[in-house]
Structure 1
């Protein structure tokens, strides 16, 4: 070859290097050419994980293929098992121009998950552990017969239910234990579990009688004790009964008197007395919060059990028939139509609390800083941090329905709600659009509970059969 050709070839290589090197460096540093803007823009990335894994990722209608041979780093993703580079979940997708994208997660046999994702320059948008639900959940009838009552425990680990033939049963760890074979009382209600969920108090009526009896049921051996026969004062009107912290004792509200009773020895001790009628109470150490009715007025008050002469605070309530709601994090009152949220007031000198009336009927255990509650057509969330409570608008509507809500359960990042004989899963995501999936529809669903992540129990009627059903909604 002539020296001129060598010079030409060397010059050509230099020109190519000078022209293309900036583009290569831009690409290597996460830049990509935007045809609309006609310039190079810093890209972002998208990380997606799902349960179960192995789901396809579709972005703006285009399926994302794995880039195992084109990208050197995909070897390391697969080597350490954290994610693939492109392809099925879990996956990371790089070099995405900033903007909004429609994401779909698709897996055969499962309902499609959809979300709008915002990609920002030099940042990774993450969707962790996206939950996929079965298209056709696995239904099983675990006890046949019309269910007359259905009482999940606070932890949801135990469910006491009754069949109209007169039997009372315990569902625990997906196993059914017959506790009572022939219970000859009607209208069982007012269930109260003890703190260990080993015993249950409930009321029922003798056949043909108007007055109710109280019973203590041992969930381990099925032993049933008629407390009203043991403690005749329980047959009085307006009596309220609860477990004491010491499992040997019961607390009984008799008009204006709170009595601590040893139900085995029948020994009784009056521990608190008020003017009027004691409607409900909460004891915390040496302090007691009560709801008290005097004539036509209802009061929410706090006392010291060691110095009960004067209340620490006393607030008059609007409306009537309030009782305390069971909640692990908050003090709540309800009359069946509205909920009162009680919060500490840092500016009060006598511990008088802040009171917020919420437009809800029932609560759903959620977190220490957020309260979930619902009424007939809305599910709402209240941000219960002290600084948020100073602004009464710190509430958000999770969803609003056109059909009545009959029950709500919370598990993980999802709400399950019952409406018009349909159980529906709703994603709890206040930052963007929420995924919603119809899990199951039946001729009749009276009540349900979600005790574990992948199983829902409900009572109702399916395919002409009444009973207690289990519904497996995900792996």
Structure 2
């Protein structure tokens, strides 16, 4: 290669480097081009902590990541700031769905996601322990406020109230499943509801019995159902 050609090639490489360097630098600083807004924006992220572990996370219908097999957590980075349709699912479990907003330089969190089994295997038992039904959550920060057809949750320290749901059939016993989920019966169905009211509240139908009366043993994490003179036990509700 002649000296003139080498010089031209060297100058061209320098020019391309100087042209690409700002773009590469902005990329590693978390900037992306938003084609809808037609502008350069700084990205955000989504963080999830899910039970059971190794669940799949989808954004706008596309698979993104699987949660950790050990911690059940996952961080999805470099997202253009906007609203995303989130679905978390695992075979054999009800999926969790919610629209969540992502902002620049911020991570939106959903740290209390639980997927519940679609076909719980109840066994018949002879007796059940004495279970106390408490209106106040274990962390003492939330209180159930309910009547025969409606459920709300109060946050006394914040002075806030979250509307959970209204039903056409009578609500039976209500228990705190965790500090972030309620379990209760409505008519013949046993339901579980989260209390996260960002977008829609996820409520799943866990099982169906004739006029069930439910009892939740939070110490042993056992669910008892009394129906038609029999007592049923499901001891694998929480992973």
TM-score normalised by L of structure 2: 0.88
Name the residue aligned to 1:115. Answer: 98
Q: In structure 2, what is the equivalent of residue 131 of structure 1?
A: 114
Instruction: Please state how far the C-alpha of 1:456 moved relative to its aligned partner.
Output: 1.0
Equivalent position of 2:151 in the other structure: 379
Separation in 2 of the partners of 1:126 and 1:34? Answer: 22
Q: Report how far residue 429 of structure 1 moved.
A: 1.3
Q: RCO greater where, 1 or 2, for CA within 8 Å and sep 6 or more?
A: 2
Count of matched residue pairs = 234
State the distance in 2 between where 1:455 and 1:133 align: 14
Does the 8 Å contact 1:423/1:440 carry over to 2? yes
Q: 1:76-120 CA deviation, whole Å, 9 max, x = no partner?
A: xx9xx987xxxxx53211110001001111111111111111111
Structure 1 residue corresponding to 2:230, chosen from 450, 467, 470: 467
Measure how far apart 1:454 and its partner are: 4.2
* Cα distance in 1 for residues equivalent to 2:64 and 2:184: 34
Q: How far apart, in 2, do the equivalents of 1:65 and 1:460 lie?
A: 41
The structure-2 alpha-carbon separation of the partners of 1:98 and 1:19, relative to structure 1 and needing over 3 Å to count, comes to same
Question: How far off its partner does 1:124 sit?
Answer: 1.2
1:405, distance to aligned residue in structure 2 (A): 0.8
Gaps of 5+ in 1: 67-77, 84-88, 145-149, 157-362, 389-393
What is the alpha-carbon distance in structure 2 between the residues aligned to residue 383 and residue 36 of structure 1? 39
Can you give the 5+ residue segments of structure 2 that lack an aligned partner in the other structure? none
2:222 is matched with: 455
Deviation at 1:421, TM superposition (A): 1.3
Q: State how far apart, in whole Å, the 2-side matches of 1:135 and 1:454 are.
A: 18
2:136 maps to 1:365: yes
1:407 lines up with 2:162 in the alignment: no
Q: Secondary structure at the match of 2:27?
A: helix
Given candidates 173, 176, 183, the residue that maps to 1:416 is 183
**Cα distance change of structure 1 residues 444 and 381 upon mapping to structure 2, 3 Å threshold:** closer
Q: Identify, as 1 or 2, the structure richer in strand.
A: 1
Q: Give, in whole Å, the separation in 2 of the partners of 1:106 and 1:369.
A: 29
Higher CA-based Rg: 1
